[in-house]
Amino acid sequence: MSLVYAGVCSHGPGITARADQADPELRDEFYASLDKMRQDIEDSGAEALMMVAAEHFANFFMNNMPAYCIGMADQYEGPIEDPEWLKIARTNVPGNSDLSKRVITEIMQTVDTAFSEEWKFDHGISVPLNFLTPRYDLPVIPANINCQGPPLTPLGRAWEFGKAIRRACDAVPEKIALVGTGGISHWPATPDSGKINLEWDAEFMRHFTNNDKHSMLGYSDEDIYRDGGQGGYEIRTFIATAAAANGAKADVHFFKPIPIFATSCVCASFQL
Amino acid sequence: MSLYYLQKVLYDINRDLAVQKQYQDDADTLFDNYALTDEERNALKQPDIGLLYVLGVNGQILMHFAAFHKIEWADYLQLMRDGITEHGPVREGVYAMTVVGERFTDNGNVES
């Protein structure tokens, strides 16, 4: 078995961009949870970090929108956002094209993922990396699920993508850590930013923690949009990560609403 | 309406430093590459964040464009609200405002 870590965390740009506007105690507690994720990933001996993200039009647009895409390069760059706004400096991030190729090849046995030999990170990956690999010394394999431009891949397909990721990770000798990043309920980048449906979030996180496939796949996109906002579509990244955990239960290290960060912020990892 | 191309020019600006420079140096020539209405061209040039929001630009695209213009977060949210006041509800897309006249403050309470 070479999947050595599987977890999820939030990625909202406010986590870094608006850090000074958050309740300091809450922010620092969340940051400490992210740092625990960093330590756990380091302790796992991971040789690569696969990020299942929900990018926000940094690479993919409605002219050729893949439901799934995986990076296959030796180097990536980001963030695309104004660095002073996001408060993360632009940098190059190492990849591993050979490892990516082997992972993608195995995933393609069951999922028709796209791949890309170039990739610009936005806050969806750059914010988690800022905490999880702050020295950018761990090769990253970016993966994306389209959660932004409908029509979106069904939740059940996101589950199958996660299963394929697990199979692919287990088929290579390298130790791989997997982190899914997304929001639960949120109405990001709209005048409603900061609106959070805590009840809906708690229900989803209960299903997620129990790795309850049936319940996690029971949401329709109409339900999600109504109760969790357009940002809620990003639960696909959590669902794929849960599928990759292959039935394992999750430990939630942090789960509290931080409105200036636009969502209920989460750190959780599976008991692999 | 040409929301697709309006979003596409913003997508290209957001992710490409060379396109950002062209936008700053010669926006009209840049815009000639996209099927845009005069209203859309003007909204892009000013930039009129409120109108771009009402026209249906995806918030993730618009947020990055506002950041490029160094617009502070609170101002960005207010510009979208002002756009709705001036131009009416969001016309297309999935980024419509859900609660009119309310703000979601840092402590989670709703503030009119």
- B21: domain CATH number? 1.10.700.10
CB contact under 8 A, A189 and B103: no
Residue B88 region by backbone torsions, left for phi larger than 0, else alpha for psi between -120 and 50, else beta: left
> What per-residue confidence (pLDDT) applies to B100?
63
- 3-state SS of chain B is CCHHHHHHHHHHHHHCHHHHHHHHHCHHHHHCCCCCCHHHHHHHHCCCHHHHHHCCCCHHHHHHHHHHCCCCHHHHHHHHHHHHHHHCCCCCCCCCCCCCCCEECCCCCEEC
Distance to chain A for B75, nearest Cα, Å:
10
**Residue B79 belongs to domain spanning:** 3-111
Residue A141 maps to a domain: yes
CB contact under 8 A, B15 and A57: yes
Using CB atoms, pick whichever of B14, B60, B105 lies closest to residue A188: B60
Residue A157 maps to a domain: yes
Domain CATH code at residue A28: 3.40.830.10
- Convert the pLDDT of each residue in A160-215 to its tens digit: 999 999 999 999 999 999 999 999 999 999 999 999 999 999 999 999 999 999 99
> What per-residue confidence (pLDDT) applies to B98?
75
Q: Into how many domains does chain A fold?
A: 1
> What per-residue confidence (pLDDT) applies to B110?
45
Is B63's Cβ below 8 Å from some Cβ in A?
A: yes
Flag whether the ipTM exceeds 0.85. Answer: yes
> What per-residue confidence (pLDDT) applies to A81?
96
Residue A106 maps to a domain: yes
Is B58's Cβ below 8 Å from some Cβ in A?
A: yes
> What per-residue confidence (pLDDT) applies to A91?
98
CB contact under 8 A, A85 and B67: yes
Mean pLDDT for chain A? 97
Chain B residue with minimum CA distance to A22 = B106
Comparing CA positions, the residue from B5, B12, B78 lying closest to residue A80 is B12
Q: How confident is the model at residue A1 (pLDDT cuts 50, 70, 90)?
A: low
- Convert the pLDDT of each residue in A35-47 to its tens digit: 999 999 999 999 9
Residue A211 maps to a domain: no
Residue A224 maps to a domain: no
Mutate: best of B19, B20, B55, B60, partner A, most A CBs <10 A: B60
- Convert the pLDDT of each residue in A45-71 to its tens digit: 999 999 999 999 999 999 999 999 999
- pLDDT per residue rounded down to tens, chain B (112 residues): 589 999 999 999 999 999 999 999 999 999 999 999 999 999 999 999 999 999 999 999 999 999 999 999 999 999 999 999 999 999 988 877 776 656 675 544 444 3
Q: Into how many domains does chain B fold?
A: 1
Residue A271 maps to a domain: no
Residue A218 maps to a domain: no
**Residue A29 belongs to domain spanning:** 3-183+232-251
> What per-residue confidence (pLDDT) applies to B101?
59
Chain B residue with minimum CA distance to A259 = B106
Is B108's Cβ below 8 Å from some Cβ in A?
A: yes
Percent pLDDT > 90 in chain A is 99
Residue A32 maps to a domain: yes
Chain B residue with minimum CA distance to A59 = B15
CB contact under 8 A, B58 and A57: yes
